[in-house]
């Protein structure tokens, strides 16, 4: 039998030929004069994984509005003019033999920040190309600048922006879309009782706090073909003091509601709404969360977080903790991870033609 890592998985109408997928990784590499437009860097970055044997690649978060970018250097898909640059990436990834999906996001109160590798940190001032962020309320994230509270009309336009971005993703040729509702960004902010203190229909109990996310799910699902998978990334917990069990219960319920509305895979991560949380980081530290969500829903679930070795990834799948493993930093270190994994697990994996001469080096 083939290793689980290399067995196909069908998600709605898409058959993916393996189960180690490229997780979204922000590159902060758009040019300031062309906000949101992906560049040659993104083309090289994403295609490197296709050459290395990735079955499915998820792009970094593509902002659905200009003010929804995490930083001034982030990718976007909020206007039609940005589609052509994405089409170029999608076309080359497809020609190289991989599938590719786009993550749709809005940073909310965590927008307009410096890139992690910038010499400065925190919020980017308006004078330097930043903007005022928005959120469920006016409370900032840590030391970031104060956001402006979104009104009901703006919430409606945000839902519409996700739908319009999904339609552009279809035009660009993407194979799947993922809604980013994790890591303390806008949709995760609305879900969290630590952040969302609204008293209108978008706050209060879990049903109210989940309203915006579920409206986004409806808008995205209605904007893509029926065969196209819609994925959802959630933070299982924000690692607040004494909150982990309650957060996980909330995540399970939100996952159930999302699946009822047409989500086809739950991508389980954690963290983002609590500044400087104490997280017990270690190999596979989030897979237990994925396993609990998997028990509660009837769609595939992915796990992410310090999954680096082929035997470790195979074990996560074999033990039923998840149906898919998402990987990031290990793939930056080795974009040919899949070929090395195939060799380790004794599975033949074809190389892209111009790279086939490298195969003997793994023997």
Known catalytic residues are 185
Exposed/middle/buried for residue 112 (C-beta within 10 Å: 0-12, 13-18, 19+): buried
Token couple for 165: 């971005």
Contact yes or no for 135/142 (Cβ under 8 A): no
Phi, psi of 172 (to 5 degrees): -70, -15
How far is the C-alpha of 202 from the C-alpha of 212, rounded, in Å? 7
Exposed/middle/buried for residue 231 (C-beta within 10 Å: 0-12, 13-18, 19+): buried
Exposed/middle/buried for residue 347 (C-beta within 10 Å: 0-12, 13-18, 19+): middle
How far is the C-alpha of 161 from the C-alpha of 277, rounded, in Å? 31
Neighbours of 327 (CB within 10 A): 22
Contact yes or no for 33/285 (Cβ under 8 A): no
Quickly list H helices, 173-227: 186-191, 206-209, 211-223
For 73, residues 6+ apart whose C-beta sits below 8 A from its C-beta are 28, 29, 30, 31, 32, 115
Instruction: Considering only CA atoms, give the Rg of the chain.
Output: 19
For 237, residues 6+ apart whose C-beta sits below 8 A from its C-beta are 243, 244, 247, 248, 251, 270, 271, 289
Q: Is 252 in a helix, a strand, or coil? A: helix
How far is the C-alpha of 184 from the C-alpha of 161, rounded, in Å? 19
Sign of the dihedral defined by the CA atoms of residues 265, 218, 59, 350, in that order: positive
Q: Is 150 in a helix, a strand, or coil? A: coil
Contact yes or no for 70/57 (Cβ under 8 A): no
């Amino acid at each position: 039998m083939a290793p689980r890592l290399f067995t196909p998985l069908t998600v709605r109408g898409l058959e993916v030929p393996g189960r180690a997928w490229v997780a979204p990784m922000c590159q902060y590499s758009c040019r300031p004069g062309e906000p949101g437009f992906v560049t040659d860097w993104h083309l090289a970055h994403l295609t490197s994984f296709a050459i290395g044997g990735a079955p499915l690649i998820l792009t970094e978060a593509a902002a659905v509005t200009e003010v929804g970018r995490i930083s001034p250097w982030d990718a976007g898909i909020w206007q039609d003019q940005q589609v052509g640059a994405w089409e170029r990436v999608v076309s080359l990834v497809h020609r190289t033999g991989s599938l590719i999906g786009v993550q749709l996001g809005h940073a909310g109160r965590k927008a307009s920040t410096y890139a992690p590798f910038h010499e400065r940190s925190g919020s980017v001032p308006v004078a330097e190309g930043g903007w005022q962020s928005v959120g469920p309320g006016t409370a900032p994230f840590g030391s970031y600048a104060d956001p402006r509270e979104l009104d009901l009309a703006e919430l409606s336009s945000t839902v519409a922006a996700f739908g319009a971005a999904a339609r552009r993703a279809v035009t660009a040729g993407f194979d799947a879309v993922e809604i980013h509702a994790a890591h303390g960004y806008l949709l995760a902010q609305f879900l969290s009782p630590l952040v969302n203190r609204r008293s209108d229909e978008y706050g209060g109990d879990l049903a109210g706090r989940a309203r915006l996310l579920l409206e986004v799910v409806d808008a995205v699902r209605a904007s893509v073909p029926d065969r196209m998978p819609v994925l959802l990334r959630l933070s299982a917990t924000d690692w607040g003091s004494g909150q982990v069990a309650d957060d996980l219960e909330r995540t399970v319920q939100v996952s159930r509601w999302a699946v009822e509305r047409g989500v086809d895979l739950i991508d389980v991560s954690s963290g983002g709404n609590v500044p400087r949380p104490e997280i017990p980081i270690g190999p596979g530290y989030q897979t237990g969360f994925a396993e609990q969500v998997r028990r509660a829903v009837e769609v595939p679930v992915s796990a992410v977080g310090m999954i680096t070795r082929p035997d470790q990834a195979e074990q996560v799948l074999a033990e039923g903790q998840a149906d898919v493993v998402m990987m990031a930093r290990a793939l930056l270190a080795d974009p040919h991870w899949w070929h090395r994994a195939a060799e380790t697990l004794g599975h033949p994996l074809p190389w892209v033609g111009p790279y086939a001469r490298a195969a003997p080096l793994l023997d």
